[in-house]
Amino acid sequence: MSYSDQNDFSFDLMDNDINMLIVDELRYDRRKLAEDHNAYTEQLTDEQQEVYLQDLMHLTGLALESAIQQLGLNELFRNLAVTRS
């Protein structure tokens, strides 16, 4: 994995209390990972693709649900649902 591509990650935004483990995690080569992901998913069988897409949809739904809860939007969505019915 190449660490030369910073992918718009700015160290200027960070203060002196830098956790180097987090910095290393943020410096991965996103383009290379995207290329690898595309290459590997093209090799999946139809059955594997179906399971992969189901899992991806489930995880996306969980992430969206978590974001809604963290932002406190549950009440807003409940109110919208009530006004639409």
For residues 25 and 54, membership in a common domain is answered with: no
| Total domains in the fold of the chain | 2
For residues 52 and 32, membership in a common domain is answered with: no
For residues 51 and 20, membership in a common domain is answered with: no
pLDDT in tens, 9-46: 555 555 567 788 888 878 888 899 999 999 999 999 99
For residues 31 and 61, membership in a common domain is answered with: no
Taking residues 67-73, what's their average pLDDT? 77
For residues 61 and 39, membership in a common domain is answered with: no
> Which among 1, 70, 65, 61 is positioned nearest to 33, based on CA atoms?
1
Q: Show the domain range for 53.
A: 45-85
For residues 52 and 27, membership in a common domain is answered with: no
For residues 13 and 38, membership in a common domain is answered with: yes
**Close Cβ partners of 23 (under 8 Å, ≥ 6 residues apart):** 11, 14
